[in-house]
Structure 1
Amino acid sequence: MGGVEITTADVLVIGAGIAGLSLGARLASEANVVVLEAESAPGYHASGRSVAFAHFGLGERIVRTLTAMSIEELAADPPDDRARYARPHPALHIARTDQLEALDALRQVHHDFGCDCELLLGDAVQSLVPALKIGSDHVHGALLDHRALKLDTDAMLQGHFRDLRERGGEVICSARVQAIRRLGGHWQVETSAGPYTSPLLVNAAGAWADEIARMAGAKPIGIDPRRRTVIAFETPSDLATANWPFVKTLGEGFYLLPEGSSQLLASPQDEGKSEPCDAAPEEIDIAKIAHRIEAATELKIARIAHSWAGLRSFAPDELPVVGFAPDAPGFFWFAGQGGYGFQTSSALAEIGEALALHQNCPQRFAERGLSPALFAPDRFVSAI
């Protein structure tokens, strides 16, 4: 790296989305942490474009357990003058007649996690969201979850950023990684903002996690970036949507979420394959969500006020990857958080901190049936 002065840290974290910032903030309590972000601001890609909503209709048992372990902290009052991370906002999971068995299974999931929820039918569903079409071909029943949370993604990112800095850590933006090499027991990372070195390198690069692994000489694990599209549209002034619940279909369909007094956010819940990139919505996905909303409700989308897309990154088994690479000493994976990164961030950062610092897994994870092996990157070795 020539004669340029190298910045040294105890821990280098690549990526300043919710993954990198939440883990970096925890590690900063015990180590000198520097977070490197390629873009001009934290959370530029997936984290800054997420319509984050914490509920149990996403993922399977392990993801739902991580959600349950995170919800209490997410819902807590802030310790100072910062904004709240989340506010209670009911979630309504809607189902057709042929989906009632799946709806009852989802009710059991909510019961198992101690949720305050109830099954609703017909008119009771429509009383909550008058625009829904009720009938055998449309909505027949629904599960109303009173424990769900609307997350403030900006508050969460800013809160972790603030914690990191107060604990002596740094976030370096516009620091795109250009080269990585292992030398003398340390990782040396060349970036557009200069060179950095550390014995511990955390790969929290989201959709780019496999690219970072390749640069470091570690085997990629098959991170799969998938595009998620969202639109915002205005509703009629005489339709009071501000108090609507978060509405989500079982399986393929859509979700709706109030935004302000007269605007709704909606997504077709698409998972379009993508290379790591600055994602943009595709016209076919925008048309798909508009069609699905108009088919299932009385809403007419005359004009789309705004549309965007972000990448959600999945490991091959759609579970998070947390742990040291089996083939690269000091290289720590913290990736594959899919579409549940915000709602599981508290628990994942807790176990990530313990494993990165070679500490025992917190007892509460074992009590919930979660072990480090479930998240370890070496679970993919046989498949590579």
Structure 2
Amino acid sequence: MSRPDVIVIGGGIAGISAAALLAADCAVLVLEAERQTGYHSTGRSAAIFIRNYGNETLRALNAASAGALEKPEGVSDRSLLSPRGEMIVAAEDELDALAAYADGAEGLETLTPAEAMELVPILRPEAVRGAVLERNAQDIDVDRMLTGYLRLLKARGGRIETGAPVTALGRRGGLWRVEAGGAAHAAPVVVNAAGAWAGQIAALAGLGAAPLQPFRRSAAILPAPEGRDIRAWPLFASATERWYAKPEAGKLLVSPADEDPVAPHDAFVDDTALAEGLHRFEQAVAIRVARVEHAWAGLRTFAPDRTPIVGFDPGAEGFFWLAGQGGYGVQTAPALAAATARLVAGAAPDLPPAVTAALSPARFHP
């Protein structure tokens, strides 16, 4: 039986980044159910850093992550970010949603419909009655980010076991005892970074039903519109999240922004949801979707309040939550990894106290 100081369950960007920082001061073991790290949500991310994305707590986490993404010390020798921009457009019936998005946001420019259509010329005039632009939204090199954290984790002596789904988890004699992939491990602290499976891990630990729900989101790669150079286009999206699109390696990534509640699984595309979403996209642009080159789906897992759950469970000694990141997992990973490392060490995170309180699993306990 191995005896690390901390066992991290989950080898996505959340678990790997937290493990890399924890490994600076303690022995860490990561258990990943799949044969490779970053297989599920991390590897299927839209890979963009949007500072105004999410609720107030998430926007604070975005701000706290910005420095580590721009200067990823120990992870990469250059920024993980590159220019992109994000433009939110509103049809007549979406103007209230656009105003709600802009409320409390920072660094947004209000655009005229003509200015928005100059940035993305394929938009239909009726789809752009209002628009805002966040020029500082940036693409994230997710592969380089995950690889960098993996390298840092291993350099600090951390271990990773892949193909090791957790089958038993319980606390005895002051230690969490974990059976995974046919091996046994024990540690005083377990970090539940299992993404869509975080609720199942909590149930194995005897914590009952966790307030987490995975949702499926689909995406498709389309050929670039004929005769258009799309490389400098921003990500562009409808204000009510009917669809979004962004340039991707010379092609156009389009998502129907679907959000269907599902059980944890290796997500696959729902053809009907994808077709309906692509139809909504077609209503907003002056091109037809004639061919889908590739399509996939991923899972975004949320707590009821759409805020991540980060901290020690008040009802289970040594059980640490790092879950419920929803669609914000990659861009908030640096801030949440740093918060995890400090909380596990018994220190306060470098976050405003209100943010730490908003993340705490104690909010779900009477």
Of 50, 54, 61, the match for 2:49:
54
User: Which runs of structure 2 are paired with 1:124-143 in the superposition (5 Å)?
Assistant: 124-135=115-126, 138-143=127-132
Change (3 A) 1:14 1:77: closer
Of 356, 365, 379, the match for 2:352:
365
What's the counterpart of residue 220 of structure 2? 231
Of 152, 164, 167, the match for 1:163:
152
Give the conservation status (yes or no) of the 8 Å contact 2:75–2:145: no
Letter in structure 2 aligned against 1:130: P
Q: Is 1:28 the equivalent of 2:23?
A: yes
Q: Is 1:308 the equivalent of 2:274?
A: no
What's the counterpart of residue 35 of structure 2? 40
Q: Is 1:247 the equivalent of 2:239?
A: no
Q: Is 1:152 the equivalent of 2:122?
A: no
What's the counterpart of residue 3 of structure 1? none
**Displacement after TM superposition at 1:57 (Å):** 4.4
Give the conservation status (yes or no) of the 8 Å contact 1:354–1:361: yes
Change (3 A) 1:238 1:88: same
Partners of 2:100 and 2:362 in 1: how far apart?
32
Q: Per the alignment, in what secondary structure is the counterpart of residue 93 of structure 1?
A: strand
Partners of 1:273 and 1:292 in 2: how far apart?
20
Partners of 1:341 and 1:193 in 2: how far apart?
29
Q: Per the alignment, in what secondary structure is the counterpart of residue 231 of structure 1?
A: strand
Partners of 2:277 and 2:247 in 1: how far apart?
16
What's the counterpart of residue 203 of structure 2? 214
Partners of 1:20 and 1:361 in 2: how far apart?
17
Of 175, 181, 186, the match for 1:192:
181
What's the counterpart of residue 8 of structure 2? 13
Give the conservation status (yes or no) of the 8 Å contact 2:14–2:337: yes
Of 232, 253, 264, the match for 1:265:
253
What's the counterpart of residue 76 of structure 1? 71
Question: How many residues were matched structurally?
Answer: 366
**Displacement after TM superposition at 1:78 (Å):** 6.0
Partners of 1:326 and 1:220 in 2: how far apart?
15
Give the conservation status (yes or no) of the 8 Å contact 1:75–1:87: no
Of 94, 107, 122, the match for 2:113:
122
Letter in structure 1 aligned against 2:7: L
Q: Which runs of 5+ in 1 are unaligned?
A: 1-5
Give the conservation status (yes or no) of the 8 Å contact 1:221–1:380: no
TM-score (norm 1): 0.91
Q: Which runs of 5+ in 2 are unaligned?
A: none
Q: Per the alignment, in what secondary structure is the counterpart of residue 16 of structure 2?
A: helix
Give the conservation status (yes or no) of the 8 Å contact 2:23–2:156: yes
Of 83, 103, 106, the match for 2:101:
106
Partners of 2:348 and 2:278 in 1: how far apart?
49
Partners of 1:350 and 1:259 in 2: how far apart?
30
Letter in structure 2 aligned against 1:379: R
Could you tell me the percent identity over the aligned residues?
Answer: 40
Give the conservation status (yes or no) of the 8 Å contact 1:221–1:377: no
Give the conservation status (yes or no) of the 8 Å contact 1:78–1:84: no
Deviation per CA, 1:124-177, whole angstroms, max 9, x where unpaired?
Answer: 111111100013xx2122111111111121111111111111111011111111
Q: Per the alignment, in what secondary structure is the counterpart of residue 330 of structure 2?
A: coil
TM-score (norm 2): 0.95
Change (3 A) 1:289 1:78: farther
